[in-house]
Amino acid sequence: MSSPYAYEDGPDLAALAALLADRTRAAFCLALLDGRAWTAAELARHAGVAPSTATGHLHRLVAGGLLTEERRGRHRYVRLAGADTAEMIESLASHAPYRPTPVRSLTDAHRRRALARARTCYDHLAGALGVAVTDAMTQRGYLDWHHGPALTAEGLRWLRETGVADDRPAGSRRPHVRTCLDWTERRDHLAGALGAALFRHGLDAGWLTVRTGSRIVRVTEAGAEALHTLLDLPDTLDTAVTSA
């Protein structure tokens, strides 16, 4: 006897899950959390698969709506479909079982620690630093959690005084304030348009830098001082992040 639910209309969650059920496709999506556009060859090298194999997987991810593609001359690039997709991937990663891989060198160990301390999650800050910023904004009354996360009047005033450009593009459907479950900390960090604006301000002000070809974020000396002054972040966190 067939299931009474077999032909009901609704989201095809199984189809989405199938896209990420393959380790190569999952590795592609995790790599693209850096917010950059990658070529198929770059993703193939990253995942350790043949270029032809990578191309087949990318076709499926584009067709499934998780990735978008663009042409630049003779080259084809892919990127995550948007911020919502990136936040979904990061959230799923936080719920996934941890699969340890051997640490093969001191450089590899440093890289892993640096990623856990501070990294990009598409266009906002993640890792221990991202969670610490979210906690500090909450403790200072800039974020309210009674109805969801929301920016308070004090938070709006703080943004203006700090010089953060929190202007969303006209017609944008992206949530202003939302959180993303951090896959290393297993706690929320700030995402949405506000999270992106804060991260962009950190980069523009010279407080943060992103390591070339990586998701690793570094805090500059000016950034450590600003974070301590503006959000009273502990010196131990500043030191740990800047020394990565």
Q: Check the CA dihedral 172-196-157-178 and report its sign.
A: positive
Domain with CATH 1.10.10.10 in the chain: 13-81
| Residue type (1 letter), 107 | T
| Beta-carbon count within 10 A of 181 CB | 18
Strand partners, 124: 121
pLDDT in tens, the chain (244 residues): 555 555 567 788 889 999 999 999 999 999 999 888 999 999 999 999 999 999 999 999 999 999 999 988 888 899 999 888 988 898 888 888 776 666 677 777 888 899 899 999 889 999 999 999 999 999 999 999 998 899 999 999 999 999 998 876 666 677 889 888 888 898 999 999 999 999 999 999 999 999 988 899 999 999 999 999 999 987 655 444 444 4
- Let me know: does 237 contact 244? Beta carbons within 8 Å: no
Q: What is the pLDDT of residue 133?
A: 96
pLDDT at 181: 86
Q: Which of 54, 55, 57, 76 is nearest to 66 (CA)?
A: 57
Does CATH number 1.10.10.10 belong to domain 13-81? yes
Q: Can you list the positions of beta strands (E) in 53-187?
A: 67-72, 75-80, 119-121, 124-126, 143-144, 150-151, 178-181
